[in-house]
Amino acid sequence: MSYEEKKERLKQRIKEYIKSDCMVAFSGGVDSSLLLRIVCEAAESSASGEDKKANIKVYAVTMKTRLHPVKEIENAAKVAAEIGVQHLIVPVDELLEAGIFDNPQERCYLCKKHLFSRILDVAKERGVSTILEGTNEEDLHMYRPGLKAIRELGIKSPLAEAGFTKKEVRILAAEYGLSVSDRPAAPCLATRFPYGTRLSYEKFQRVEQGEQILKAYGFYNVRLRVHDEILRIEVDPEAFPKLLSHREKIAAQLKRLGYSYITLDLEGFRSGSMDIGLQGSNNGV
């Protein structure tokens, strides 16, 4: 199926879902931002009469979670304002509420089940029965146990249904002029730790600070994987020379965060390096 055919299929799928008020699980990343933009477009086009924008309400709901970088809430609010949609922010404490303190292999399933159950509650309060989320087609072939929870709860994934890859999502987001079209992914901070590791918000804060240090040098894709006292740096392979040219400063800055050993992963950045060896795992986050 061509890109243009996928675009038409995506818009048709969303049009089928937008028969009444709708809620979009909105992280502020490129996938959910594109989905939200097209949902709003479909809601406007389906309205009629003088009160053109009042017929179908669209809500963007963002979970205020401490498992994601702090700036993600600011980014989500910015994009919601760009699109012009009602933005709901719901605080949540996954470590306490979803039972994932020990970072179990089913962490993503437990977390998504808890988060989307909360979204369902918010939707019910507003009389909304249709909830959409931004999984894309490539996610279906990766280690994504959270997708099971999404399906169990009846949440729909139009991008995946239309066959949209991540690259195609970015292309269409750019066509719509979305500011997030080229923003790198910002997955859950728990993905920086091996399964079975005792998690804490202090550990999340340290690894987030470490990634901000590297991003300040201009690296695009950055992951710090924490193995007790060892910090494994993942950046794109073509960025290795730049990182090595600053290695002494970077190592010193990261050691000040409390890590004893600073290493560079020679395979470079890749999603899901903590998922190696797990059943059904090619990549992850």
pLDDT in tens, 20-34: 999 999 999 999 999
Q: Are residues 129 and 212 in the same domain?
A: no
pLDDT, position 148: 95
Whether 212 is in a domain gets the answer yes
CB 159 within 8 A of CB 138: no
Q: Which domain CATH number covers 203?
A: 3.30.70.2210
Please report which confidence band the pLDDT of residue 283 belongs to, taking 50, 70 and 90 as the band edges: very low
Neighbours of 122 (CB within 10 A): 16
Neighbours of 44 (CB within 10 A): 15
DSSP secondary structure letter of residue 273: G
Residue 80 makes CB contacts below 8 A (sequence gap 6+) with 26, 28, 36, 60, 62, 87
pLDDT, tens digit, for every residue of 196-233?
A: 999 999 999 999 999 999 999 999 999 999 999 999 99
pLDDT, tens digit, for every residue of 64-113?
A: 988 887 788 889 999 999 999 999 999 999 998 999 999 999 999 999 99
Q: Are residues 127 and 236 in the same domain?
A: no
Q: Are residues 152 and 193 in the same domain?
A: no
pLDDT, position 234: 98
Whether 280 is in a domain gets the answer no
List the domain range (segments joined by +) for residue 220.
189-275
Q: Are residues 12 and 152 in the same domain?
A: yes
pLDDT, position 66: 85
pLDDT mean over 135-162: 93
- Residue among 151, 179, 180, 133 nearest 39 (CA): 133
Determine phi and psi for 10, rounding to 5 degrees.
-60, -50
Last residue of a domain, one of 121, 150, 175: 175
- Residue among 45, 51, 42, 8 nearest 24 (CA): 42
**Beta strand residue intervals within the chain, DSSP E:** 22-25, 58-65, 86-92, 130-132, 222-227, 230-235, 261-264
pLDDT, position 279: 52
Q: Are residues 20 and 161 in the same domain?
A: yes
* Percent of the chain surpassing pLDDT 90: 81
Whether 182 is in a domain gets the answer no
Q: Are residues 208 and 259 in the same domain?
A: yes
| pLDDT over 50 at 285, yes or no | no
Provide the number of structural domains found in the chain: 2
| pLDDT over 70 at 50, yes or no | no
